A and B are shown apart, each in its own frame.
Chain A
C-alpha cells in the first residue's frame, strides 16, 4: 500500500485515474459554471435588447450621457488583464512561479484600475442625477425611457463590476497559494480555472461596451 502511494503523482487526487482525467474534470466543471453565468447575464442582456427596441429614442439619448472614452480605456484595461492572465497560465505550465506572480500582479492591478475608473463614472452619474430613484432628474419628454436605460446600465455594469471584484479576490487567494508553494512543483490547473473565469468577465465587457457606450453613435 505504501509503495503504491509513493508511485502516485503527488498532484493527483485519489478519486481520479490519472492527471489527464483530473485536469479534464476540473476544466469541464469550470465550463459548466460559465454556461450558467452566460444565462445569468443573458437574461439581463435580453431585457436590455427588448427595452432598447421599445424605447429607442430615449436609449439613444441616454447613451450620449455615458463617456465612451472612459469605457474604451476600461476595455483596453480589461483586454490587457486577460492577456496577462493567459501569460500567467503559461508561466504556471512552465513552472516559472516568479513570472506567474508577476503576471497575476499585473492582472490584479488592471482589475483595480477598471474598478477605479468605474467608480469615477458612477460618481459622475450620481452628480448629474442620472441614478434611477427619487433623485433622478432628466429634462425632456424621454425621461422615463432614460431612467429605464440607467436602471439597466447600473444593473449590468454593477453585476459585471461585482464579478471583477470577485475576480480580484480569487486571483489574490491564488497568488498567496502560488507564493506559499513556490518551492515545490504545483498543478497549473487552479491558475487555468481562475483564468477561464477571468476571460469570461472580459467577454461580458466586450459585449457591454458596444451595447451601452457605442450603439446610437459616438461623437469625437
Chain B
C-alpha cells in the first residue's frame, strides 16, 4: 500500500519480540536435545526473519510485485538448498556410485 507509515509502536514490539527470540535460541543451545537442536535453532531464525521482513522491511505493506520478488528470493533459496542436500545425502546409496 502506498504511503503506509508504520507506527514506532510496531517497531518497538518487533524489536522486543526479536530480542526474546534471540534469548530463546541461546537458551535452547544450552540444552542437549539431540537432533532437535538444529531444526529448533533454524525455526527460530526463520521466525526472526519473518518479523524483520514483514515489519522492519515493511513487506506487509509493500506493493504486490515487491512481495512476489521476496517470494522469488525464498523460492530460489529453497531450490538451492532443498535440491542439493538430498543429492549429497543419498548419492552414496546409489548402485555403482564410487567416491
- A residues sitting closer than 8 Å to B (CB atoms) are 20, 23-24, 27-28, 31-32, 34-35, 38-39, 42-43, 45-46, 49-50, 53, 68, 72, 75-76, 79-80, 82-83, 85-87, 89-90, 93-94, 192, 195-196, 199-200, 202-203, 206-207, 209-210, 214-215, 217-220
Q: Are B65 and A24 in contact (CB under 8 A)?
A: yes
A192 to B63, CA, bound (A): 14
- With beta carbons under 8 angstroms apart, the residue of B8, B57, B81 that contacts A196 is B57
A219 to B62, CA, bound (A): 42
Q: Are A39 and B56 in contact (CB under 8 A)?
A: no
Q: Are A215 and B29 in contact (CB under 8 A)?
A: yes
A141 to B53, CA, bound (A): 43
Given A28-B65, A217-B37, verify A79-B5 contact (CB < 8 Å).
no
A207 to B48, CA, bound (A): 9
Best-surrounded residue of B7, B12, B49, B57 (most CB of chain A within 10 A): B57
A-B contact count (CB 8 A): 136
Q: Are A38 and B66 in contact (CB under 8 A)?
A: no
- A93 proximity list for chain B (CB < 8 A): 5
- A200 proximity list for chain B (CB < 8 A): 57
Q: Are A82 and B52 in contact (CB under 8 A)?
A: yes
- B62 proximity list for chain A (CB < 8 A): 27, 31
- A202 proximity list for chain B (CB < 8 A): 52, 56
List B residues 4-46 near A (Cβ within 8 Å): 5-8, 11-12, 14-15, 18-19, 22, 25-26, 29-30, 32, 37-38, 41-42, 44-45
